[in-house]
Structure 1
């Protein structure tokens, strides 16, 4: 495992050159005397992975900011509306074209695309083991597809870059039709579906993308496009044939250090660190953004507050409540003070992004070891259930929906990481009974609801509301229910997309058009 982190630190300087202010941030000049041999391609691929976890430019942060704060699951939080005003704009759908967090999302995703393009283009020509080089190219295709999926679902039409290009060449590239972007994504993911399965890599390569990741992302593409027949076919392969994944027996295990990269993990971003090692500093500061400001050893920024609406969506005895919300009065094992959420307007903070102080000892608050889970197998099972129901097989859909609920009701409502727990869900024999409804429309609502509960605060709520074509309906209803600015300004003709960053439009001298309403 440590080998790849050492490689990352050695190549970071080479790979993190910045563009000048008048160049598009989504283009770079390639180095012609590099990429000649297998080790060069390996370094370049490692650099592509690195783009997910550069300090201050971490993909996971934009994943949670955009995926949750823009929805009914989370408020912006922090000390006031002006504290990181960009997030207030995202939360209330008053986004300016110069919004820094929107710009950062564009920048990170295109940096991933850039690095992947180098690998995909140069790997076939490099000297070395052709089988390994082909695998490197397919890993890069999987990562590029993931980046473009996020770009197209965030911005709609975007510049489609599939080969290395110079900044001057980039300036002549216009936005491509959404269909063309999806075509590249789907082909990349089909190519990447030949990658090794989870567990087939050695320990040094355990966090590389796999065939399962590629297939699950392909299924997400199909689901987003309401192609349920294609989605079912891919998900059947993942769930019933490949069987690379399984649910952990307890929901809460997913956020414990000992279950990193578990059988349930389809894709997580690793932040492995070594005590007193200042060379391979590749931890994360993302959890710091989401914890209480008032507790010694946590002192976070207090962003992304779980809403009361999310809390009320759970049955009172649902054990998952324990592993979604922290409350004033909770205390983690080893702490000498309770959690204090008095500055949270809802009284809650995000459990899944709360790292106990004992897990951070010996590390700086801005660089801690905590893997961030992006895709879990329960997400896959619920997608499969949804696809099956849409295709008229409600009986089989219930099997996979209830598998997720069964795990939830068998979860320990008492968190072993806490020495004090302010609220313990009152479980009994009737907790989370199996769903039995077979009416297609009613079952669809049940599955959608289960996705909200199971995947709460994991960054996928916006994605779900968008593909379900009810984003505006849900957010306007939230605004009316809570007399809130959040959701009040949602415009169906504008807010399914974010604006193209104005800075990128300026650099393109008008070649990049703007989305409607901005």
Structure 2
């Protein structure tokens, strides 16, 4: 069997030179590669599956960048940053809720996710009839179903009902497909993730395939789906399996370990997009850290300065919370092996995103646009806090405290001094009273505490918008933010419009109006 790493390098060579500017519903892949000349063997199906995985990490079009821009910069957690309002203005419009139907960031999300879905459909459709190891082919189809479900989850939670494509189609056929209902999309997501929940567990793959999707990923996304729908009973069932039965994951002992190279794909990682550079001449790295690193100073840390933590996010933390060290960078911080200090003078708040700051010592000899750094998408801490939340919603607050306090315990036992830095401007002064266990069992009060803990624990990881939407308080939070800081950010939020993004106008035009626009746009 061909190993995934070799396939990634091979396909990265092919994808690195491709420019993706067209809309994606009818992207022209069919008619070139067909069941008559490809998809015939298990090795060809595996290569097609690797091509699906790579849709999340295509050079200059990485999904993670959109995940953070949409998931954080449109919320109270992050400012757009960059070099003024005109720099990546489409993200500013997301932040101000003045989004046009031609917004480039909105179009990028639609495009990437439908490219992913289209390639998954190829694998799912052709795998059963391919020659070779039938167990492998069944597994490849399940991996593709998990990826397809992820794509549809990200679409339906931001656009509402979208065209439901579940098998390969010719471009002309695709353009005749109207939007399905949200219920139909969620039904497909649940079916795909249920099928994929029998994938191997984390650790059951060999080293070469270590980043393949697992049963844990399928169950995590299934739980998120149920939570988004308010189906707390089903969510509890899935989360109980993950936490109390499967035992596939555990928290790392120190919060900061999650962002060190030696703990990539560690025991806490449920879903991680690998961007390891196996060959420095091949574009298998990521450029997301370059977008999010401080603009100021020398080449050591100089980037584009987007995705800036807000003062409001910083103020959400207790002053002695050790997680502050691993979420915010400041002017004057310096990483071991670097010769110059961080310069955040261009940041409106004085902060930048620690979780995406890669020390220059780790980039020696690499193209700064091809950084060897994995994107941590879902951590086990997220799962524990979801479980605490759903237990509380289901009238089991005492049980919820167990999992909430697991996360808080790890946080308070985290080293407030970053071992990667030899100069750290602010060190949280921890004491015996830092982040004490929560004992509150009143459902309403505990709900607020758990929501707050999610904000702190998962800060700058792209899930804030998702949480605010499913908690049905997105508008409330954003209006409060705008009023508190007397800013345009959040002021224009319209509850009747802004829980969804607009369908890209280009897609509506290409279908001659078969696709209809969301209300208010």
Structures share fold, TM-score greater than 0.5: yes
Superposed displacement of residue 299, structure 1:
1.4
1:281 aligned partner: 283
Kept in 2, the 8 Å contact 1:228–1:390? The answer is yes
1:447 aligned partner: 450
1:311 aligns with 2:317: no
1:254 aligned partner: 258
1:39 aligns with 2:40: no
Gaps of 5+ in 1: none
Kept in 2, the 8 Å contact 1:269–1:371? The answer is yes
Note the aligned Cα RMSD (angstroms). 1.7
1:412 aligned partner: 415
1:71 is matched with which residue: 68, 75, 84?
A: 75
Q: Say if 1:255 and 1:14 are closer, same or farther in 2 by CA, change over 3 A.
A: closer
Helix, strand or coil at the partner of 1:121: helix
Q: Deviations over 1:231-278 (max 9, x none)?
A: 000000000000000000000000000000000000000011135x31
Superposed displacement of residue 4, structure 1:
2.5
Kept in 2, the 8 Å contact 1:385–1:398? The answer is yes
Superposed displacement of residue 14, structure 1:
6.7
CA distance in 2, matches of 1:122, 1:25: 19
Q: Deviations over 1:347-405 (max 9, x none)?
A: 00000000011111110100010001000000000000000000000000000000000
Helix, strand or coil at the partner of 2:415: coil
Superposed displacement of residue 29, structure 1:
1.3
1:292 aligns with 2:302: no
CA distance in 2, matches of 1:8, 1:438: 49
Q: Deviations over 1:317-347 (max 9, x none)?
A: 0000000000011111111111110110100
Superposed displacement of residue 6, structure 1:
2.9
Helix, strand or coil at the partner of 2:378: strand
Kept in 1, the 8 Å contact 2:56–2:112? The answer is yes
Gaps of 5+ in 2: none
1:165 aligns with 2:161: no
Q: Say if 1:19 and 1:396 are closer, same or farther in 2 by CA, change over 3 A.
A: closer
CA distance in 1, matches of 2:316, 2:487: 18
1:131 aligned partner: 135
1:200 is matched with which residue: 195, 199, 204?
A: 204
1:354 is matched with which residue: 335, 345, 357?
A: 357
1:4 aligned partner: 4
1:122 aligns with 2:126: yes
CA distance in 1, matches of 2:433, 2:307: 32
CA distance in 1, matches of 2:180, 2:165: 10
Superposed displacement of residue 298, structure 1:
2.1
Using the TM superposition, name which of 344-353 and 329-338 deviates more.
329-338
Kept in 1, the 8 Å contact 2:269–2:380? The answer is yes
CA distance in 1, matches of 2:56, 2:261: 20
2:518 aligned partner: 515
CA distance in 1, matches of 2:452, 2:89: 30
CA distance in 2, matches of 1:106, 1:515: 14
- Number of residues of Structure 1 aligned to a counterpart in Structure 2: 516
> TM-score under structure 2 normalisation?
0.97
CA distance in 1, matches of 2:495, 2:370: 40
Kept in 1, the 8 Å contact 2:26–2:170? The answer is no
Q: Deviations over 1:116-175 (max 9, x none)?
A: 000000000100111110000000000000000000001001000000001000010000
CA distance in 1, matches of 2:410, 2:191: 35
Kept in 2, the 8 Å contact 1:284–1:368? The answer is yes
CA distance in 2, matches of 1:193, 1:508: 35
Superposed displacement of residue 293, structure 1:
1.1
1:493 aligns with 2:496: yes
Helix, strand or coil at the partner of 1:419: strand
Kept in 2, the 8 Å contact 1:327–1:340? The answer is yes
2:155 is matched with which residue: 148, 151, 156?
A: 151
Q: Say if 1:262 and 1:316 are closer, same or farther in 2 by CA, change over 3 A.
A: same
What is the 5 A alignment of 1:204-283? 204-274=208-278, 277-278=280-281, 280-283=282-285
Helix, strand or coil at the partner of 2:329: strand
Kept in 2, the 8 Å contact 1:154–1:498? The answer is yes
Q: Deviations over 1:105-126 (max 9, x none)?
A: 1111001101100000000010
CA distance in 1, matches of 2:373, 2:24: 35
Superposed displacement of residue 5, structure 1:
3.5
1:462 aligns with 2:465: yes
CA distance in 2, matches of 1:369, 1:213: 23
Kept in 2, the 8 Å contact 1:23–1:167? The answer is no
CA distance in 2, matches of 1:340, 1:411: 26
CA distance in 2, matches of 1:417, 1:66: 29
CA distance in 2, matches of 1:303, 1:12: 26
CA distance in 2, matches of 1:128, 1:492: 52
Helix, strand or coil at the partner of 2:72: helix
Q: Deviations over 1:194-242 (max 9, x none)?
A: 1000000000000000000001110000000010010000000000000
Using the TM superposition, name which of 331-340 and 291-300 deviates more.
291-300
Superposed displacement of residue 27, structure 1:
6.4
1:88 aligned partner: 92
1:397 is matched with which residue: 386, 396, 400?
A: 400
What is the 5 A alignment of 1:44-59? 44-59=48-63
Kept in 2, the 8 Å contact 1:28–1:164? The answer is no
CA distance in 2, matches of 1:399, 1:11: 45
Helix, strand or coil at the partner of 1:374: strand
CA distance in 1, matches of 2:22, 2:429: 57
Q: Deviations over 1:269-327 (max 9, x none)?
A: 0011135x31x320000011111112322211101110000000000000000000000
1:472 aligned partner: 475
1:421 aligns with 2:444: no
CA distance in 1, matches of 2:18, 2:353: 35
